[in-house]
Amino acid sequence: MKIHDVEQGSSAWLEARCGIVTASEADALISPLGKVRTGAGVFTYLCQKLAERWLQKPLENYDAFAMEQGRILEERARPWLAMKLDCDIQRPGFITNDEETCGCSPDGMISNETGIEIKCPMAKTHVGYLIDGCLPSEYVAQVQTSLFVTRLSQWYFLSYHKDFPKLLLTIHPDVEYHDKLAEALEEFNERLEVGWQRLLDANGGSPPPKRVPMTFSDEVQRGKAYADLNEVLQ
């Protein structure tokens, strides 16, 4: 695995994710049961990755504000987990496989041996997770893809809500799932390269240089998320 030194949520992190499959989006390629997806959904995701690669930036439908709200809530969950496990938790930037064709952004890592995925859902959703007592189906692809990318032996999944018991699970690599994921990634990345070449041919060469828009700093943009979430945390 390759660890890219970028801060999660920053512009550099968003750019690092552009054009490649990420764990949080892997459900577009493979189902929770390990079935390789086909059809319109895969094509839509292919077009998204091609557009990101061409523009060298995430598309407009990327919800950075919601992402930042989740990050703020995770800052409460992470110290609880560190105390529970009696360990130090690092937060790496962006991790890819050696080929840099697939990546993940762990919510934490312990001694480069165990990854962490933290979710802070609404109360009714968290209660459902507690009752089921297993990795929610909507996060199977994300966690297994993270294990696939990093080649770590285990991953912690934490569902955290301040008013309820916490759900902490230890997830191990699913070899059969990873075989199917490798198949899906190989086919998708082959289509990605074919699509990229068609874009180049249509343009008569490489895309134009990236435009550098005038924006506020990442810190300033985060200020709104902190302000709007203040009432939730109190």
pLDDT given at position 112: 84
pLDDT given at position 232: 47
pLDDT tens column, 88-111:
999 899 999 999 999 999 999 998
The mean pLDDT value for 18-39 works out to 95
pLDDT given at position 1: 86
Classify domain 2-208+218-227 by CATH number. 3.90.320.10
Strands laid side by side in the 94-96 sheet: 2-4, 94-96, 102-104, 21-22
Model confidence at 67, in pLDDT bands (50, 70, 90)?
Answer: low
Q: What contacts 9, CB < 8 A, 6 or more positions away?
A: 64, 67, 68, 71, 218, 222
Element holding 110 (H helix, E strand): strand 108-110
Q: What DSSP state is assigned to residue 7?
A: -
Q: Please check the confidence at residue 225 and state whether its pLDDT lies above 80.
A: no
The mean pLDDT value for 18-30 works out to 95
pTM: 0.85
